[in-house]
Amino acid sequence: MVSIEVNPPIQEIIDVGLVPLLVELLKADDLPKLQFEAAWALTNVASGTSKQTFAVIKSGAVPQFVRLLASKDTHVQDQCVWALGNIAGESPQCRDLILSLNTVPALLTLLEKAKNNNAVSTLRNVTWTISNLCRGKPPPIFSSLAPTIA
């Protein structure tokens, strides 16, 4: 439903209170398929307007996305990378929130694993997310991104 190309019902999902419920589903570590679907829906909500992106942030999704970068399920990892990239690209404030959660080391770990496994899609998504973490004015604090150039 959220992936409908023309006018997806993002605001309706927010208005009926589904965003906090989707964030709760991210915590279901014994159900990775459910986590993936919840992350996928939240990624789509976060790709909407600034107000819609902030609804995802306010619901507490960002720390869960960061936590799930260490998931044993690569599909969950990839979806969380994509969500973080969407959110980071929204504004310097969003970017800085993600950086404040020590996200870069987890992204670099995923990048290395993807490189070793020749997982091109993951390589692209992680690289795109890191590039969004490097954008914006004022620029991010260098020390939070220094490991990406080491």
Residue 99: give its domain's CATH number. Answer: 1.25.10.10
Q: Establish if 81 belongs to a structural domain.
A: yes
Kindly indicate the confidence band of residue 7, based on its pLDDT and cuts at 50, 70 and 90.
confident
DSSP state of 131: H
Do 38 and 25 meet the contact criterion of CB atoms below 8 Å apart?
Answer: yes
Q: How many domains is the chain built from?
A: 1
Alpha helical stretches, state H, 47-136: 50-58, 61-67, 74-88, 92-100, 103-116, 120-133
Q: Establish if 78 belongs to a structural domain.
A: yes
Q: Which of 4-13, 35-44, 52-61 is least confident?
A: 4-13
Q: Establish if 105 belongs to a structural domain.
A: yes
Do 101 and 62 meet the contact criterion of CB atoms below 8 Å apart?
Answer: yes
Q: Output the pLDDT for position 141.
A: 73
Q: Establish if 115 belongs to a structural domain.
A: yes
Q: Output the pLDDT for position 56.
A: 98
Q: Check pLDDT > 60 for residue 2.
A: no
Structural domain boundaries enclosing 107: 10-149
Q: Establish if 5 belongs to a structural domain.
A: no
Q: Check pLDDT > 90 for residue 149.
A: no
Q: How much is the pTM?
A: 0.90
Angstrom distances, CA of residue 15 to CA of 18, 20, 48, 90: 8, 11, 14, 21
Q: Establish if 3 belongs to a structural domain.
A: no
Q: Establish if 2 belongs to a structural domain.
A: no
Q: Check pLDDT > 50 for residue 1.
A: no
Residue-wise pLDDT tens digits, 94-147:
999 999 999 999 999 999 999 999 889 999 999 999 999 998 888 767 666 666
Q: Establish if 141 belongs to a structural domain.
A: yes
